[in-house]
Structure 1
């Protein structure tokens, strides 16, 4: 696997420049964190990016679950954590605010 140069990030690992994101960068960031991006996780990351492009905001988990037509509980199970943090992080989106 070729090594990918990960652009500048904040203290929590979020990209400082949303436009610097590429799928390779996402995979490199996840690999660095020991996170396996399954097809399902990948779909959610792309949907979150789509939502962000349309609304210019990272959706709260309730809205996002509705947007992708999935139960919130399933999202928490899949990510083992508040799902919006890793989804927005690996999606190159800004850090979610409020309750995640």
Structure 2
């Protein structure tokens, strides 16, 4: 896997730029990834991102948009407002996780 520098951290990424090593992520890396796609993180952004990180450890895959909405309690409409156009893909990217299944 290719290695790239995000902020001051060297991380492993796939061909699309998604982190491939769970432990290389931290909130500063998340802020840098968000800034790279034009998102300034607020506390409202961190709730689904932290949920994704915790859920990934338990289930071994990135949660879908529907799961974030139902289990984390963040309405889908709000997720689209926080992460415009492709919220599941953007949340996974910022959270340092693989793209959810079904994302193009």
Q: Above 0.5 in TM-score?
A: yes
- State how far apart, in whole Å, the 2-side matches of 1:32 and 1:4 are: 14
Residue 6 of structure 1 deviates from its aligned partner by 4.3
Counterpart contact for 2:79–2:87, Cα < 8 Å = yes
Q: Does 1:95 align with 2:69?
A: no
Residue 99 of structure 1 deviates from its aligned partner by 4.7
**Equivalent residue, structure 1, for 2:15:** 11
**Equivalent residue, structure 1, for 2:41:** 37
**Alpha carbons of structure 1 residues 27 and 80: separation in structure 2 relative to 1, 3 Å:** same
- Which secondary structure state, in structure 2, belongs to the residue aligned with residue 40 of structure 1? helix
- State how far apart, in whole Å, the 1-side matches of 2:75 and 2:18 are: 26
TM-score (norm 2): 0.81
**Equivalent residue, structure 1, for 2:31:** 27
Structure 2 regions of 5+ residues with no counterpart? Answer: 1-6
**Equivalent residue, structure 1, for 2:69:** 65
Deviations 1:4-44 (A, max 9, x none): 22413223221121221111111112222222111111121
Higher relative contact order (CA 8 A, sep 6+): 1
Counterpart contact for 1:4–1:24, Cα < 8 Å = no
Structure 1 regions of 5+ residues with no counterpart? Answer: none
**Alpha carbons of structure 1 residues 72 and 43: separation in structure 2 relative to 1, 3 Å:** same
